[in-house]
Amino acid sequence: MKQSKVFIPTMKEVPAGAEALSHRLLLKAGLIKQSTSGIYSYLPLAARVLNNIEAIVREEMERIDAVEILMPALQQAELWEESGRWNAYGPELMRLKDRNGREFALGPTHEEVVTSIVRDELKSYKQLPMTLFQIQSKFRDEKRPRFGLLRGREFIMKDAYSFHADEASLDESYQDMYNAYGRIFKRVGINARPVVADSGAIGGSHTHEFMALSEIGEDTIVYSEQSDYAANIEKAEVVYQPNEKHSELQSLTKIETPNIHTAQELATFLEKPLDEITKSMVFKVDGEFIMVLVRGHHELNDIKLKAYFETDNIELATEDEVVNLLGAKPGSLGPVFDKDIKVYADNYIQDLNNIVVGANEDGYHLLNANIGRDFDVEAFGDFRFILEGEPLADGSGVARFAEGIEVGQVFKLGTKYSESMNATFLDNQGKAQPLLMGCYGIGVSRTLSAIVEQNNDENGIIWPKSVTPFDLHLITINPKKDDQRELADQLYAQLKESFDVLYDDRKERAGVKFNDADLIGLPIRVVVGKNASEGIVEVKRRDTGDSEDVHVDDLGNYVNELYTKL
Amino acid sequence: MKQSKVFIPTMKEVPAGAEALSHRLLLKAGLIKQSTSGIYSYLPLAARVLNNIEAIVREEMERIDAVEILMPALQQAELWEESGRWNAYGPELMRLKDRNGREFALGPTHEEVVTSIVRDELKSYKQLPMTLFQIQSKFRDEKRPRFGLLRGREFIMKDAYSFHADEASLDESYQDMYNAYGRIFKRVGINARPVVADSGAIGGSHTHEFMALSEIGEDTIVYSEQSDYAANIEKAEVVYQPNEKHSELQSLTKIETPNIHTAQELATFLEKPLDEITKSMVFKVDGEFIMVLVRGHHELNDIKLKAYFETDNIELATEDEVVNLLGAKPGSLGPVFDKDIKVYADNYIQDLNNIVVGANEDGYHLLNANIGRDFDVEAFGDFRFILEGEPLADGSGVARFAEGIEVGQVFKLGTKYSESMNATFLDNQGKAQPLLMGCYGIGVSRTLSAIVEQNNDENGIIWPKSVTPFDLHLITINPKKDDQRELADQLYAQLKESFDVLYDDRKERAGVKFNDADLIGLPIRVVVGKNASEGIVEVKRRDTGDSEDVHVDDLGNYVNELYTKL
């Protein structure tokens, strides 16, 4: 297309607050336009890339016999009440009422809808396994939308749902989808790593996330340099390797610790290392208060707590609740008390004796608290985040960290939705059984961002040819000169027979055009300039920057060969 | 694909209440599934047809240099307040609040969003003209969703918006789009007729609708058998051809008309023809009460009233308002009064004298009311719907009626949105001017329905090959027989190299498979049955029902030729 007809509002200066590289580049190259917080329009170049990504997704879905459908964004509350998520989902679920006062959600995901379709229309084990997918806009009212398309409130997803008669079949489709996702990310030009992840509120038992490594990530990935091990830090297991306790038991002593609120402040005040301090936190688990201890240099991981207690209903107790319960504010809490509150401790607490804990009295701590003597621990467990350098659960070496963008997830749901929504099939004995399900998602608009995040240089985007909005950028340096314009017009007519060509016919200065071309980042640039009258044009690769003068008679072959090599 | 993997829940009985033929066929052939009133999921066959329609739309848009974008469904109220439509739009606009209480609309159309994008990013006349389009789900909270996809609450639209420096350019893009729409409907297999239409609440001056003729339409089309004239009945002009008044003036007489409420009841009671009775209606126009008269056999057309008074703010007065104003209820109203209420009358009222009108007293009418003597008429005009058989405005003959489904509309908006939203460009003198705009829509999901409405027989759908979900239906009569299954597997592998093949590998009775195949309606069916061992299969056209036995060695060529001919 002629660039004068395409709407590509490139920018010199990116608005403040665009932190992520991809966000800055997408704005700067004129691909997206913010409508309001977390909501964007995709301008022509972005729409073309999205179409290319979606075509690749469709090919890979068809290859594993997944079948496309399209479900509605408007989802009646009744469906979400059946699954129990109408109340459980929280403020991220956007809700509205129709003209008759009936409640609806704007779909952030489609387990409920797809389960309701399948339970009505799928009867027999003969129809299984079956995998349905769709590509569609989703809605999630993020508390803090950020990073452009990476965490938006309206975004494009490919979501898929599989249905099975037995675990073996679910395992097979899960593996098919896992492999398809690997191929998709590779084809679109993303280096994405599957990592073990937490199953969270969606329920289910087994899940991997596909993480695209990036400068700014929303997630930290724990990985091994020696093996394929990779996990979301939320999920990465900490191996407990006991260390001997370091000293003789001493007697419990209360000391005044004025204005000390954090473990770090306490360590400084006592001139002890941070790892000899403990942190005591009170949680409400399904309505019951418990205390959890971790060492000063460790971070408690509430996702592991949820997994341990097998509930999503875990909250940190409020200050009021804590004061009411123990008589002191957070910062002065500890496990030495005469109350019916169970104490849980991270495994590494076992390495300590003569522990420093809060005295349950504001401004006071206890020295030399000891397990068994001064307080009891109900159970030890892995309740914290792993630290970089700690040993990995697969024994392959030590933990390395990287930042990543989650671009996809595969998930074994089991019977979570089929049981709550009564979706059954008749097995080969004619007996009704709950369907086993898997669900699978790719963030299509996130993938667009992740591609840009990983494919760029200081001058702009470098599109992988699989998804590039156009294949070639044909540029006239001075379209007012007849020889340049005529040659460029002729080359445009010729090249567009074999390629998607963006033809910069604008009456702008050459510098503006070249800057825009670098920013936009099409794989190959053909420049018609001062040698036009001799039939010579310049052909330049965006990735390496290599350029060569080529005679127009050879141009077709030259560009074909170069494009194939890319 | 193998039919056992595709989800096609065909039905024997269609649920009661599916009035439109396309609605029944889409349900019966397993293409759609209702989620709730006016909201549907598109199952695999429908998703494939939608993709095919969208591909044709994209080709024709690209051909006229329209450029694809994708705008959000979530639109902040502020934009709609700028255009004045936040208050004007009424309950069809679905509204919601985000977690911070900020108001949003779910886009039923995108004039506001696209105007806000362009006003920020388009600077100069050099960038004009420009046409942007998108394909996307739209939301409209219909009072009475019906006819399946034809009047739904969530539906798919291709909408386009063009921007211009002058009228000539707008005219040109309007004509390009008009022609593209004609090509699109022809290519997808719809007989659609462009008709002159009303511009309604969206504003603007000039518009055509593309109407697909159908059994059940939402609109009546007035057309000529002698010319290209076609108009939505809302808009079709009535030509006034005066008739002489038929009798001497007689004196005004009040008579009792007990329990008479309608013109028909009055005509029967008085033993007069219906066309000698008048109907008097009171409207509130921008807050002012007026009376409008039409003859008994004519229907008042409030769209023409709105055009006449150049306002959307016209409502029929309520019973309370009328009683308060004239002292009688609707049914006994008339223009003979001593009030400051202007009377407007349809042109054809001029043909009457000695008119029967309500007496403004419940249960009484006046005989022999005469214009000028007993009441004054502020103005005569064309305030009613045309009748079938009346002369057409273009002089080509008499009005014929047909039912139609509106599948597309092209629209000159002028500066309605650019002025209210302050979207300007700098002209070649460097002066800021409001952009001229056009807007253009195709109902993509409606088009799916309209295709089915026009392409079927008593056994099911007959897909045009341009949009068919699969090209060929390969069917084994008895897949348990090795020779049939093996031959069918081999043909499947062969045919899918050149065609999209749906391979019915299900272990169902032949009758079930043939019924499903007729319902689903793929253009060509290849049946592997009892002659499989001799290498003979049956090839059948869905449209004509013609079939022929073909040897497998000739099958490739035979099917290729047949498919080309379709």
Beta bridge partners of B357: B366
Q: Tokens 């339970």 identify what position?
A: A119
- Is residue B213 very low, low, confident or very high in pLDDT (cuts 50, 70, 90)? confident
- DSSP 8-state secondary structure symbol assigned to residue B293: E
- Is residue A199 very low, low, confident or very high in pLDDT (cuts 50, 70, 90)? low
Show which of residues 492-521 on chain B sit within 8 Å of chain A, judged by CB atoms: 506-507
Contact status, residue A472 vs residue A559, Cβ threshold 8 Å: yes
Q: Which of A211-220, A408-417, A542-551, B299-308 has the lowest mean pLDDT?
A: A211-220
% residues pLDDT > 90 (chain B):
82
CA distance A549 to A246: 74
B41, B62, B65 ranked by CB distance to A117: nearest:
B41
Q: What is the pLDDT of residue A41?
A: 98
Q: Does A127 touch chain B (CB under 8 A)?
A: yes
The 10s digit of each residue's pLDDT in B24-52 is 999 999 999 999 999 999 999 999 999 99
Tokens (6 digits) for B561? 């030729």
Q: At what angle do helices B444-454 and B44-63 cross, to 10 degrees?
A: 110
- Averaged pLDDT of chain A: 93
* Mean pLDDT (whole number) for A12-40: 91
Tokens (6 digits) for A56? 């690749």
List, in order, residues 6 or more apart from B547 with CB less than 8 Å away.
B538, B539, B540, B541
Q: What is the pLDDT of residue B199?
A: 62
* Mean pLDDT (whole number) for B309-326: 92
C-alpha separations of B497 from B59, B467, B506, B556 in Å: 24, 19, 22, 10
List, in order, residues 6 or more apart from A158 with CB less than 8 Å away.
A54, A57, A61, A133, A134, A135, A441, A442, A444
Q: What is the pLDDT of residue B520?
A: 97
Chain B residues in contact with A5 (beta carbon < 8 A): 65, 67, 130
Q: What is the pLDDT of residue A200?
A: 57
Q: What is the pLDDT of residue A146?
A: 84
Q: CA B466: distance to chain centroid?
A: 22
List, in order, residues 6 or more apart from A450 with CB less than 8 Å away.
A22, A190, A192, A212, A214, A405, A407
ipTM of the complex: 0.85
% residues pLDDT > 70 (chain A):
98
Contact status, residue B559 vs residue B539, Cβ threshold 8 Å: yes
Per residue in A159-184, is it b (16+ CB within 10 Å) or e — as a string? bbbbbbbeeebbeebbebbeebbbeb
B98, B118, B130 ranked by CB distance to A5: nearest:
B130
All structural domains of chain B, each given as residue ranges with its CATH number in brackets, are: 45-212+402-453 (3.30.930.10), 253-381 (3.90.960.10), 470-565 (3.40.50.800)
Q: What is the pLDDT of residue A201?
A: 47
Q: What is the pLDDT of residue B484?
A: 94
Chain A residues in contact with B139 (beta carbon < 8 A): 73-74
Instruction: Please give the sequence-ordered ranges of beta strands (E in DSSP) within A93-229, or none if there are none.
Output: 94-97, 103-106, 130-139, 154-164, 192-196, 206-213, 219-223
- Is residue B202 very low, low, confident or very high in pLDDT (cuts 50, 70, 90)? very low
Q: Does B73 touch chain A (CB under 8 A)?
A: yes
- Is residue A202 very low, low, confident or very high in pLDDT (cuts 50, 70, 90)? very low
Contact status, residue B198 vs residue B235, Cβ threshold 8 Å: yes
% residues pLDDT > 90 (chain A):
82
The 10s digit of each residue's pLDDT in A326-360 is 999 999 999 999 999 999 999 999 999 899 999 99
CB contact under 8 A, B44 and A35: no
Tokens (6 digits) for A543? 């990735």
Q: Which residue of A has its CA nearest to B506?
A: A126
The three-class DSSP label of residue A412 is strand
Strands B230-232 and B547-551: unpaired
Q: Tokens 């804990």 identify what position?
A: A357
Q: Tokens 């090959």 identify what position?
A: B465
B94, B130, B132 ranked by CB distance to A98: nearest:
B94
% residues pLDDT > 70 (chain B):
98
Q: Does A377 touch chain B (CB under 8 A)?
A: no
A118, A130, A137 ranked by CB distance to B137: nearest:
A137
List, in order, residues 6 or more apart from A87 with CB less than 8 Å away.
A81
* Mean pLDDT (whole number) for A457-465: 97
C-alpha separations of B524 from A191, B309, B491, B499 in Å: 44, 56, 14, 11
A4, A47, A65 ranked by CB distance to B69: nearest:
A47
Q: DSSP H helical segments within B189-301, as ranges? A: 263-270
Per residue in B311-324, is it b (16+ CB within 10 Å) or e — as a string? eeebeebeeeebee
Higher pLDDT, A90 or A157: A157
Chain B residues in contact with A72 (beta carbon < 8 A): 35, 39-41, 137, 154
CB contact under 8 A, B141 and A43: no
Q: CA A326: distance to chain centroid?
A: 39
- Is residue B231 very low, low, confident or very high in pLDDT (cuts 50, 70, 90)? confident
pTM listed for this prediction: 0.86
- Is residue A205 very low, low, confident or very high in pLDDT (cuts 50, 70, 90)? low
Q: Which of A311-315, B93-97, B243-247 has the lowest mean pLDDT?
A: B243-247
Chain B residues in contact with A48 (beta carbon < 8 A): 68
- Residue B228 pLDDT > 90: no
Q: At what angle do helices B552-565 and B482-495 cross, to 10 degrees?
A: 50
Residue type, B323: V
Peptide bond into A129 cis (omega under 30): yes
Per-position DSSP letters for B342-361, written without gaps between them: EEEEEGGGGG--SEEEE-SS
Residue B65, min C-alpha distance to chain A (Å): 7
Higher pLDDT, A312 or A154: A154
- Is residue A412 very low, low, confident or very high in pLDDT (cuts 50, 70, 90)? very high
Tokens (6 digits) for A343? 């104490």
- DSSP 8-state secondary structure symbol assigned to residue A277: B
Q: How many CB pairs under 8 A join A and B?
A: 166
Q: DSSP H helical segments within B340-481, as ranges? A: 416-420, 444-454
Q: Does A71 touch chain B (CB under 8 A)?
A: yes
Q: Does B12 touch chain A (CB under 8 A)?
A: no
* Mean pLDDT (whole number) for B213-238: 85
CB contact under 8 A, B75 and A46: no
- Averaged pLDDT of chain B: 93
The 10s digit of each residue's pLDDT in A158-168 is 999 999 999 99
- Residue B204 pLDDT > 60: no
Contact status, residue B333 vs residue B361, Cβ threshold 8 Å: no
CB contact under 8 A, B44 and A134: no
Q: Does B144 touch chain A (CB under 8 A)?
A: no
B44, B121, B506 ranked by CB distance to A69: nearest:
B44
Q: Which of A26-30, A148-152, A420-424, A452-456 has the lowest mean pLDDT?
A: A148-152
Contact status, residue A147 vs residue A128, Cβ threshold 8 Å: no
Q: Does A251 touch chain B (CB under 8 A)?
A: no
* Mean pLDDT (whole number) for A34-56: 97
Tokens (6 digits) for B231? 């108009």
Q: What is the pLDDT of residue A311?
A: 87
Q: What count of Cα atoms within 13 Å lies in the side-chain half-sphere of residue A21?
A: 19
- Is residue A533 very low, low, confident or very high in pLDDT (cuts 50, 70, 90)? very high
- Is residue B205 very low, low, confident or very high in pLDDT (cuts 50, 70, 90)? low
Contacts 24+ apart (CB under 8 A), A29-32: A29/A460, A29/A461, A29/A519, A29/A520, A29/A521, A30/A519, A30/A520, A30/B121, A32/A148, A32/A149
CA distance B305 to B314: 8
The CB density around residue B483, as the number of other CB atoms within 10 Å, is 15
Cα Rg of chain B (Å, integer)? 29
Chain B residues in contact with A91 (beta carbon < 8 A): 99
Residue A500, min C-alpha distance to chain B (Å): 12
Q: What is the pLDDT of residue A372?
A: 92
Contact status, residue B231 vs residue B221, Cβ threshold 8 Å: yes
Closest listed residue to residue B210, CA positions, set B244, B181, B170, B169: B181
